[in-house]
Amino acid sequence: MDEAFTQLDRAMCLAKNGDTTTAVAHAARTLLSLTDPQRRGIIGLRARQIVEALPVQDQNLAAVRELHDLLTDADPKE
């Protein structure tokens, strides 16, 4: 899990630097390397923060929607 946090932090840095495509791809790769239960909780929260950090105009990109869907699938409350 520590490695997943490190990789999601890297994705956040990419997102804040304006590299949406790479940030989303990196976050998705990280999440896909985890089991569904591992994606829940704080890992899912961190990934959602990445999506929220993306510029508004990028929120409708297919890759961003796919990442959001991956997070929604892992969270039965949504």
Tens digits of per-residue pLDDT, 5-63?
999 999 999 999 999 999 999 999 999 999 989 888 899 999 999 999 999 899 889 99
Name residue 8's amino acid: L
Whole-prediction pTM value?
0.85
Give residue 76's pLDDT band: very low, low, confident or very high (50, 70, 90): low
User: What pLDDT, on the 0 to 100 scale, is given for residue 78?
Assistant: 45
How far apart are the C-alpha atoms of 78 and 51, rounded to whole Å?
A: 16
Cα dihedral 53, 76, 74, 4 sign: positive
User: What pLDDT, on the 0 to 100 scale, is given for residue 62?
Assistant: 94
